[in-house]
Structures are given as structure tokens and as C-alpha cells.
Amino acid sequence: MAQSVLKALPKSQEVVVGRPRLLSLMIFIVLVFGISLFFVWSRIQVFEFEYAISSLETELRESEQENRQLRLEAASLRNPSRIERLARNELGLRLPTPSQIITVR
């Protein structure tokens, strides 16, 4: 009877429910961590680009305002009455007499 007890049991197809493989778990964790880092990095890039765009728009508005002011100043400097006044008062110039005018044909 002792021999029959020691007899090996026939192997059956068993479904082994055990721990997941450590390598698979580590790969999954690294993959999730990598995706998370990529998401955070992409959000940071979006914020930096939005800040850069905002700064450039502000600079553009300031440049347009300066351009308008310079155009206005150039128009006022080209005013003939202003030029005549400066010539008379600051440079001491005067209109030529009729004898000083020579007509070229």
C-alpha cells in the first residue's frame, strides 16, 4: 500500500494564477512614466510658446505705435511753413530780391 501512495499523480493542465512577471510590470511602469513625462513636457512647451507669442504681440503693438508717432513727426517736419519759419528765425535767411532771381531756360 505504501507504494501506491507514493505513486506520482498524473499531470493535468493547470491554470497557474501567480504574480505577473516582474519584467512586464517594470516595462509597463516605465512606459506609463515615459508617457506622463511626455505629456508634462508638451504642456510646458505649450505654455512657453503662448508666453512667447504674447510677448511678440506686445512688441508688435509697441512697434506699430512707434511707427505711427514717427510718421506723424516726419509729416510735421516736412511742413513748408515750419521750414520757412526755421529758415527765417534760426538761420537768418530771407526771400531773394527780384534782382537775385535768374530764370534758366
Residue with cell 532771381: 101
- Which of 24-28, 40-44, 47-51, 68-72 is predicted least confidently? 24-28
Type of residue found at 58? T
Domain boundaries, the chain: 21-92
Q: Dump pLDDT digits (tens) for 51-93.
A: 999 999 999 999 999 999 999 999 989 998 899 999 999 999 9
Q: How confident is the model at residue 39 (pLDDT cuts 50, 70, 90)?
A: very high
Centre a 10 Å sphere on the Cβ of residue 87 and count the other Cβ atoms it contains: 13
DSSP tag of 78: T
More reliable by pLDDT, 31 or 19: 31
Question: What gap in Å lies between CA 30 and CA 23, rounded to an integer?
Answer: 10
User: Which three-class secondary structure state does DSSP give residue 36?
Assistant: helix
Q: Output the pTM of the full model.
A: 0.53
Q: How many alpha carbons lie under 13 Å from residue 74 in its C-beta half-sphere?
A: 6
